[in-house]
Amino acid sequence: MRGRAPHGWRALPVAVIIACTVNTGCAAATPGGPGPSPTVPPSPSGTPSAVVPSNGTTAPSDGARRAGLIDVTTFLPDAVIDLRYATADNFVGVRLYPAGAKCLVHESMRVGLTTAAAILRERGERIVFWDCYRPHSVQVTMFEKVPNPAWVAAPGAYSRSHETGRSVDVTLTSGHGLVDMGTDFDAFTPQAAAHATSGVTAAQQANRARLRAAMAAGGLSAYAGEWWHFDGPGAGVQRAIVDVPVN
Ligand SMILES: [Zn+2]
């Protein structure tokens, strides 16, 4: 999640500092649309991902609609939504999203994500969304909970990246469970760097590269600091603060 800080900087435990943009997480897989959400298997790192129950609708709030946000599952019915900030299983340690939180993205992400998912689907893989649109108020809460600008970017006067629904934090799942990428979401270790080689096996590097290639085909750029973070068109542009319901 490159995104606890909307384009801030975050320090790794080992004193490695990487640039961060706004990030958000996602939740619960919903292949096939409405209906029971499948259980997300434990991540390779051993951390189980909690499944967030859907409120049964993909209709965003009026505010979200006005902000151009759409529910990912409306165009990627087989996407796995596992919003980590909708659970306490995140770096802050508390639940930050309300019940029924959705993976919302700006409509400009639709074509790119559709392209990426199609490529991955041919290999029997689906995209797991850990974070999507992140309300500005959540960014503020993150900073209140972890008031360290080295870890959480102080909320700014503008929104960008996750705060505008133009960045996503994702991984992959196959018929065998989550694809092994080497680290869990929000791992503050050198191994989290997208192109890390030390401590990351050749297979894990290949898995990351396959995700990057698919996303790149859809025009989504990888963030070097975090293998799971991808930016869509205009993600870096500072825009008026967006703070609409995520559920
Ligand atoms: Zn992110």
All structural domains of the chain: 25-133+168-231 (3.30.1380.10)
Q: What are phi and psi of 100, to 5 degrees?
A: 80, 15
161 Cα–ligand 1 center, Å: 8
Residue 17: what pLDDT? 26
Q: Which amino acid, residue 8?
A: G
State yes or no: pLDDT of 27 exceeds 90: no
> What is the token pair recorded at 175?
């018929």
Residue 155: what pLDDT? 82
What is the DSSP track for 217-236?
Answer: HTTPEEETTEEEEEE-TTTT
169 known ligand binder: yes
> What is the token pair recorded at 200?
């990351």
Looking at the chain, the whole-number percentage of residues with pLDDT higher than 90 is 55
Tokens 């196959």 map to which residue? 174
- Check residue 164 and report its DSSP letter: G
Tell if the pTM clears 0.85, that is, is over it: no
21 Cα–ligand 1 center, Å: 7
> What is the token pair recorded at 92?
């802050």
For the chain, give the mean pLDDT: 80
Task: Give me the catalytic one of 107, 122, 144, 226.
Answer: 226
pLDDT single digits (tens) 117-157: 999 999 999 999 999 999 999 988 888 888 877 666 678 89
State yes or no: pLDDT of 207 exceeds 50: yes
134 Cα–ligand 1 center, Å: 10
136 known ligand binder: no
State yes or no: pLDDT of 10 exceeds 50: no
Catalytic, 125? Answer: no
State yes or no: pLDDT of 36 exceeds 60: no
- In whole angstroms, give the CA distance from residue 106 to residue 146: 27
230 Cα–ligand 1 center, Å: 7
| Cα–Cα separations (whole angstroms), residue 225 to 129, 164, 182, 185 | 18, 20, 14, 12
Element (H, E) at 106: strand 104-106
Which range of 45-54, 168-177, 234-243 scores highest in mean pLDDT? It is: 168-177
pLDDT single digits (tens) 147-185: 877 666 678 899 999 999 999 999 999 988 999 999 999
> What is the token pair recorded at 139?
């960014």
